[in-house]
Amino acid sequence: MLAKQDLLPIGRVAMRSGVATSALRFYESTGLISSERTGGGHRLYPRHVLRRVAFIRVAQRLGLSLEEIADALTVVPHDRAPTKKEWERLSRSWRARLDERITALQDLRNELGECIGCGCLSLARCHLANPGDRVARNGAGPRYWVGDPRPS
């Protein structure tokens, strides 16, 4: 059991982390964070949960699902803040994914004025790059942006 000064009520954690109390309760229900309960059933979180919540928010911004975040957090202790070495190991594991995302965003930026990836909304140029909307055979949506190869 932690000392009372090391425990924060849910409202304080929400304020300090920038995450809604409903999200904190959801994170707890999925096992991403944990709390202690008072006799009246109020949630009290150890201070180190602020780092876990920050980690969750960053991981979500990187595009990781909550399942992927939960998997990553299995190597981080639940009862204390992770060490610098533990954080470094986790962040290294996401480097390739982040690099892929950067590349995809750069591709989008570079081709934004010419191509919509091809969904095809019949931009003037598309009759040359996608005659007869042949890319539609691959499925719905912007096929090139979801990973389909572009024709040579």
- Full-model pTM: 0.64
- Looking at residue 28, what is its pLDDT? 95
For residues 27-46, give the mean pLDDT: 92
Query: Which is more confidently placed, 142 or 64?
Result: 64
Domain ranges of the chain: 4-97, 113-138
Most confident range, picked from 1-5, 43-47, 114-118? 43-47
Please work out, in degrees rounded to the nearest 5, the angle formed at the alpha carbon of residue 31 by the alpha carbons of 30 and 33: 115
- Looking at residue 27, what is its pLDDT? 95
Percentage with pLDDT > 70 across the chain: 80
CATH code of domain 4-97: 1.10.1660.10
Cβ atoms of 76 and 82 within 8 Å: the answer is: yes
